[in-house]
Amino acid sequence: MVRSKKYISILASILIVFVFAACENYLGGDTNQDPNRVFEDDIGLDALLPPVLVSTSEAHYNVAFTFSRYAQHISFTSDIAQEETQLTGAWTEIYLTTLNNLDVMEEKATEAGASHYLGIVKVMQAYNLSLATHAWENIPWSNAFEDGEFSPSYDTQEQIYSDIQTLLNDGIAELQKSTSGDGPGSDDLIYGGDISKWIKTAYALKARNAIHLTGKGAVSAANNALSALSNAYTDNADDFQVAYNTDKNLNPWHTSGYLAAQTGNPAPDHADQLIDMMNGETYPEEDPRLPIIASNGGAAEYYGSESGNHGVNQDAPDNSSNTAFTDETFHSRADAPIIMMTYAEMKFIEAEAAFLRDNSGNAMATGASQQAYDAYMDGIQANMDKLGVSESERDDYMSEPSVDVGPGNLTMELIMKEKFKALFLNPEVYNDYRRYDWDNAIFKDLELPANHNPQLNGEWIQRAVYPSSELSRNSEEVRKAQKDIGTPMWFYN
């Protein structure tokens, strides 16, 4: 990867700062400087933080748009399902914008002794590296931002996992320091300068990455996740998300899922794997979240698109799907947030971790402790509350015999069923699929999509390929790092 000059990515970010903070006339009157360049020395930490948060949410969306298709949350026009993807937009957001600007922020925060900013930098570096490694596996990091380095090496995923933990530990240490007026305020678009929530976010990411390693040792992964969860989110108010608005800063799912369809352009809709899990087809209960996340135009039944066969549902009277994103469905409202990590997710991680601990790592067991069961039920409630399900509908659903099974009948299938729904449009679901090897003893009725990519020989896709721009810039390192799209990654293999 060729490192772009710092002033280039900062200039792009300053434009975002203008949008979000309504800044005026940033560039001054030194006529000896190029007016088209913004240099890092001229920019404060408070101006750099908003674009870093926004570009991270955009990267999250870019990854989710593709990986939600692989996980059968959504369906999109394509001749071949599970096709090769480069995720070029995500690579650009992560490397050329976010991590580049975080590198500048790290230098500035260190020089200024601004420990809270520095702690946020470490957490955001960790989050972006986590997004990147779960998309491409081996990625540039250890020497990617060294001055004069234009062909950085690719670190292994195992090394990236270690570096993420170091970043989070260091970030927590910085965030826990006492300061006097050096921290963020309104420039923190996520938490408004509430440092306690950033500490919880660091622990939440620790818990998420810990549970990823069930394939390396389920009980140890579970114990590590449970340890981190004790300091992570405690309610929905802690959720890690970036808000959008109805003016110029529209939620990208609103743009791609709703506005695109209104203008005759290709647009995603809901996959039948998701819809059938909620409409009473796969499971006996009907889920009150369904009309909140999907519209069927007032029809009597919901029919999702068959994965790999966009717009088709052979069970529908006219063989067509009828679900859509609208300007009122929860995730595609113009002002909906991009949701990256949630309290509900933490409860499902706790449920899984306690289940594995209780059953000596056996994911196919039945029954677990009260802790596992309570976390499973709390995760359902947290997500329903976040989506605005009425208390009566929520309680009716949670008291259904097929949902409220009791600790002795809890299964990994039930935990993952509810996590799958609660993490709609979150690429973390794809990580769950991969680490449990797409097992339909856990993911009920999961099947390879129609028109499956013949390159995969009947296997599931496991990764993105590196962007062609990266291949042209850093071809030797890319060729060493690239693997076949059906090759499992280190974290679950």
422 three-state secondary structure = helix
| Nearest C-alpha neighbor of 304 from the set 64, 65, 76, 67 | 76
**Is residue 323 within 8 Å of 305, Cβ to Cβ?**
yes
DSSP 8-class letter at 4: P
Which tokens is 448 given?
A: 């390879």
Q: Any idea how long the chain is?
A: 493
Mean pLDDT of 461-471: 96
* Residue 147, pLDDT above cutoff 50: yes
The string of pLDDT tens digits covering residues 155-202 is: 999 999 999 999 999 999 999 999 867 789 999 999 999 999 999 999
| Cα-based angle 441, 339, 13 (whole degrees, multiple of 5) | 135
Which tokens is 353 given?
A: 């971790």
Could you tell me the pLDDT band of residue 41, with boundaries at 50, 70 and 90?
confident
% residues pLDDT > 70 (the chain): 92
* Residue 38, pLDDT above cutoff 60: no
Mean pLDDT of 331-342: 98
DSSP 8-class letter at 257: I
Domains defined along the chain, listed by start:
6-243+451-492 (1.25.40.390), 244-334 (no CATH), 343-422 (no CATH)
Mean pLDDT of 100-113: 96
pLDDT at residue number 13: 39
The residue assigned the tokens 């002794």 is 113
% residues pLDDT > 90 (the chain): 88
Residue type, 462: Q
